[in-house]
Structure 1
Amino acid sequence: MIDFWMAVGLLLLVAASFLLIPVLRHRPSAEAPPRTALNVALYEERLSEMQTQREAGTLSEAQLDTARAEAARELLADTEAVQPGRVSRQLGRRVPLLAALLVPLLALGLYLHYGASARVELAREFAAPPASLEEMTRRLERTVEAQPDSAEGVYFLGRAYMAEQRPADAARQFERAAQLSGRPPELLGQWAQALYFAENKTFTAQVRALTDEALQADPNEVTSLGLLGIAAFEGRRYQEAVDYWTRLQGLLPEGDPSRAALQGGIAKARENLGAQPAATGPRLKVRVELAAAVRDQVRGDDSVFVFVQALGGPPAPLAVRRLSVADLPVQVELSDADAMMPQLKLSNFAQVQLSARVSRAGQPTRGEWLGRSQPLAVDTTALQTLTIDRPDQ
């Protein structure tokens, strides 16, 4: 920045010179006596002539007095006419000197207040490549500080935080960038991804809402598709994971390194899908959802247990599936493959009841909110809707 300020100083010096050179070139005139002294001499000479005429009898005493008064008036008028000229010459020198001092100071003050010296310094820094990721992050932080309304700068700062394994900081920057740029779907997907990792890989309600919004705006938003595939895999919904990842793989160009990683995930999901026991006997299909009055009372990472109990039988569940609030609403299928104990299966009972419990502590036997169905036959094939709508007593 030294050469920058040297250039600024040189420009200010040039500007001041235009004001000072005319003053420095001014020289006082070489005229002999000042005009006032000349007027006084002429007045005295005129008085002497009038006195001579009076002695010679040419003028009377009354005429002499009148002539003296007239000469005095003329002298006074000539003297007053000289003063404004002298004052103007004095002001004519002072004003340029004052302007030469104030103009550079005013220009410097305005630049420091409205100028972009911080941006000039950043531009000089970015001219050289950063030595490390940490240095790049620091540069981006200063860029965002200098240009807080730049969505691009805020976005790249979020990417840098993700590279440094700082997902919570990245989520805040992506949220800010989304607000500045009108919530584009690709930014919503990256915001959701950062929140997912910041919440210890939990698919919270906010993550679900962001991915839904992103895919509604752009059904091919790649980050959201990948994230939904991860959530489905973690929830043992392997077919959904295969579907999301296959769809994503088709959007990536040939040679993209992410394609190989996706193929590995798809193969693993299919392997787990094939390893699941084939469902035999009764298969209950149920859609689980939250009542509107309950949505604000739960968190996205609260556990949800969907289970079946026998009517008139043991209290232990016949089949259980564990989800989270962020997964709701969701459709699941319960069968003998979900039995907790081999001797307690759906196929051993005729009448059952479906239940869903929200448990913040992750306990299947107690929680905060509950939903129950009416008794139904174990061989029911119609889709059942289970709404969690009451406090768990």
Structure 2
Amino acid sequence: MTEFWLSAGLLLLAALGFLLIPILRGRRQQQEEDRTALNVALYQERIDELAAQQAAGVLDEAQMAKGRDEAARELLADTEGADVARQGHLGKALPVLTAVLVPLMALGLYLHFGAADRVELTQEFAQAPKSMEEMTARLERVVQAQPDSAEAVYYLGRSYMAEQRPADAARTFERAVALAGRQPDLLGQWAQALYFAAGKQWNPQLQALTDEALKTDPNEVTSLGLRGIAAFEGERYQEAIDYWKRLLAQLPEGDASREALQGGINRAAERLGGSSGQAAQPVPVAARLKVRVELAAALKDKVRADDTVFIFARASNGPPMPLAAKRVTVAQLPIEVELSDADAMLPQMKLSDFAEVQLVARVSRAGQPTHGEWIGQGAPLPSATQATQHLTIDSPDP
């Protein structure tokens, strides 16, 4: 804040100068007025003397007129070049009082309505927080300073979740939804916070929020994960497997959470086998397609390293939605991935259910699997193909 107050002080000095300079000028003008008044008094005294001499018979009428003219010329000579008299007088007290009160009033109004708190926050965020609690406290101050910022409110909710404060997070995400609208990812975060705040008890509100999120975006990751957790806790293991497999398809290769998610799927499969009185069976995989994806050299300067790349297989003659998909980034290209029934988007629509499929790779800066900037498509091939396929992203996405 030192730079801010130094700048403010210089501006206040300039303002005081504008207000006090007229007072200093006024003193000189007052001196000129006093001199003019003295000259007029001397002129009047000279006229009175001439009149007395005329009355005594010393001066005749011609001499009297000549003396009056000489006195008038002397008066004009003395007052020549003097400034025009002021029409009004403010006095000294009012300008001085104004010079003091104006800066004080400006400072008070700035501190009340201005952005001093935002200046402090900007300087504070220039330094890394020392703890999660400090980060949360900063975000709380940001939200207080910018209550209409949906982004600030959202990050505060995430911070509350990281601190294991789901009740506070739920209220914060509800506020973010009110500010930014009912976006699928916000609904998912809100539902997740409510779920943990309620002690992992499923309720109609959670069902409604996740239904709304997945209806707008069937691949909304938080809702998919939450539905899987709720199904697992409710011993609906097949339902948990289905949700988690859909979530697994959205995670990029190398994501740290893929291993944990696959472990959850395996545990659900084991319990599913145990609950039916049968030996645990692995999740069946009836179709596997290996594909190597690379980016055309001509496009390397037209994409960013963090742009999302969707690699998927869709039916050659069937619904346009992907049957199985993987998500990576441009930075990971070239890459070789495997698409199988385990990557199915929907349990009832697997690779093995279709005899012929088409492989597609799409670059989407917005992270949308249905549209993007660049695309690579392969020719139709049997879903049981064993040989590794090669796919090059080289064309504008229509």
TM-score, normalised with respect to structure 2? 0.58
Check if 1:45 corresponds to 2:26: no
Question: Residue in 1 aligned with 2:290?
Answer: none
Q: Which shifted more, 242-251 or 226-235?
A: 226-235
Give, in angstroms, the shift of residue 232 of structure 1: 1.6
Question: Residue in 2 aligned with 1:206?
Answer: 205
Check if 1:115 corresponds to 2:114: yes
Alpha-carbon deviations, 1:68-114, whole Å to 9, x = none? xxxxxxxxxxxxxx9x93674x5376664344223312221221121
* d(CA) in 2 for partners of 1:57, 1:13: 65
* d(CA) in 2 for partners of 1:33, 1:121: 55
Q: Does the 8 Å contact 2:232/2:268 carry over to 1? A: yes
Question: Residue in 2 aligned with 1:35?
Answer: 36
Give the 3-state SS of the residue equivalent to 2:5 in structure 1.
helix
Alpha-carbon deviations, 1:122-145, whole Å to 9, x = none? 111111000111111111111112
Give, in angstroms, the shift of residue 181 of structure 1: 0.6
Q: Provide the aligned C-alpha RMSD in A.
A: 3.2
Give, in angstroms, the shift of residue 269 of structure 1: 1.4
Alpha-carbon deviations, 1:327-372, whole Å to 9, x = none? xxxxxxxxxxxxxxxxxxxxxxxxxxxxxxxxxxxxxxxxxxxxxx
Question: Residue in 2 aligned with 1:16?
Answer: 16
* d(CA) in 2 for partners of 1:98, 1:235: 76
Give the 3-state SS of the residue equivalent to 2:85 in structure 1.
helix
Distance 1:57 1:207, change over 3 A: same
Give, in angstroms, the shift of residue 27 of structure 1: 5.7
Alpha-carbon deviations, 1:35-62, whole Å to 9, x = none? 33333332333233233333439889xx
Aligned 1:315-326 pairs, distance under 5 A = none
* d(CA) in 2 for partners of 1:47, 1:169: 95
Q: Does the 8 Å contact 2:33/2:85 carry over to 1? A: no
Alpha-carbon deviations, 1:268-309, whole Å to 9, x = none? 111122223369xxxxxxxxxxxxxxxxxxxxxxxxxxxxxx
One-letter amino acid of the structure 1 residue matched with residue 11 of structure 2: L
Question: Residue in 1 aligned with 2:239?
Answer: 240
Distance 1:123 1:273, change over 3 A: same
Check if 1:259 corresponds to 2:258: yes
Give, in angstroms, the shift of residue 147 of structure 1: 1.5
* d(CA) in 1 for partners of 2:135, 2:144: 14
* d(CA) in 2 for partners of 1:278, 1:52: 146
Q: Which shifted more, 173-182 or 24-33?
A: 24-33
Aligned 1:105-184 pairs, distance under 5 A = 105-184=104-183
5+ residue gaps, structure 1: 65-81, 280-393
* d(CA) in 2 for partners of 1:43, 1:14: 46
Give the 3-state SS of the residue equivalent to 2:199 in structure 1.
coil
Give, in angstroms, the shift of residue 191 of structure 1: 0.8
* d(CA) in 1 for partners of 2:121, 2:232: 44
Distance 1:26 1:199, change over 3 A: same
Paired residues, number: 260
One-letter amino acid of the structure 2 residue matched with residue 175 of structure 1: E
Give the 3-state SS of the residue equivalent to 1:28 in structure 2.
helix
Question: Residue in 1 aligned with 2:77?
Answer: none
Alpha-carbon deviations, 1:226-267, whole Å to 9, x = none? 111112222222221111111111111111111111111111
One-letter amino acid of the structure 2 residue matched with residue 50 of structure 1: A
Give, in angstroms, the shift of residue 222 of structure 1: 0.6
Question: Residue in 2 aligned with 1:56?
Answer: 57
* d(CA) in 2 for partners of 1:42, 1:193: 98
* d(CA) in 1 for partners of 2:185, 2:160: 17
* d(CA) in 2 for partners of 1:33, 1:234: 99
* d(CA) in 2 for partners of 1:33, 1:24: 16
Aligned 1:311-350 pairs, distance under 5 A = none
Distance 1:58 1:206, change over 3 A: same
* d(CA) in 2 for partners of 1:40, 1:124: 68
Distance 1:47 1:176, change over 3 A: same
* d(CA) in 2 for partners of 1:236, 1:144: 40
* Structure possessing the higher radius of gyration over alpha carbons: 1
5+ residue gaps, structure 2: 65-81, 279-398
Give the 3-state SS of the residue equivalent to 1:254 in structure 2.
coil
Distance 1:175 1:31, change over 3 A: closer
Give the 3-state SS of the residue equivalent to 1:34 in structure 2.
helix
